[in-house]
């Protein structure tokens, strides 16, 4: 694994290279309050966890999530809602939102985009 990428738990990762980026923070053990950007893939509890977001966020953290995840606005942070296929930049970091879905499972159907 690359030294600047840490796997937390489940789908949660932390990237520490120029900016600190968390993806789906979940079961975070220590309150680092160091996130520049938090990526939320969808609204299930193990991907969107307000308690864990509060452990890693700071006052100027930017949350990036699909429009189906409305709740981050309640945390008082800047929220950028994106759609699959969208290319965008946050704090000088370029991203592309891609569709993701499960095959043969009832969760995350392809029809959700």
pLDDT tens, 62-75? Answer: 999 998 887 777 78
CATH topology for 5-100 is Metallo-beta-lactamase; Chain A (3.60.15)
Q: Which residue has the tokens 């942070």?
A: 77
**Per-residue pLDDT reduced to its tens digit, 15-51:** 999 999 999 999 999 899 999 999 999 888 788 999 9
Is 18 within 8 Å of 37 (Cβ atoms)?
Answer: no
Greatest mean pLDDT among 6-10, 29-33, 97-101 lies in 29-33
Which pTM was predicted? 0.87
Per domain, the residue ranges of the chain are: 5-100
Is 82 within 8 Å of 72 (Cβ atoms)?
Answer: no
Q: Compute the average pLDDT of residues 53-68.
A: 94
Q: What is the pLDDT of residue 95?
A: 97
Question: β-strand 5-7 against 87-90: which pairing, if any?
Answer: unpaired
What is the distance between the alpha carbons of residues 103 and 113, in angstroms, rounded to a whole number? 13
Q: What is the pLDDT of residue 1?
A: 53
Helices (H), 11-73: 50-56
Tokens of 29: 């053990």
């Amino acid at each position: 694994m690359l030294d600047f990428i840490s796997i937390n738990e489940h789908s949660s990762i932390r990237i520490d290279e120029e900016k600190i980026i968390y993806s789906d923070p979940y079961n975070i053990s220590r309150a680092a309050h160091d996130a520049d950007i938090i990526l939320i893939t969808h609204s299930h509890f193990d991907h969107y966890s307000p308690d864990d977001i509060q452990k890693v966020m700071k006052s100027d953290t930017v949350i990036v999530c699909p429009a189906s995840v409305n709740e981050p606005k309640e945390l008082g942070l800047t929220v950028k809602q994106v759609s699959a296929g969208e290319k965008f930049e946050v704090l000088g970091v370029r991203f592309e939102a891609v569709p993701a879905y499960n095959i043969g499972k009832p969760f995350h159907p392809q029809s959700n985009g």
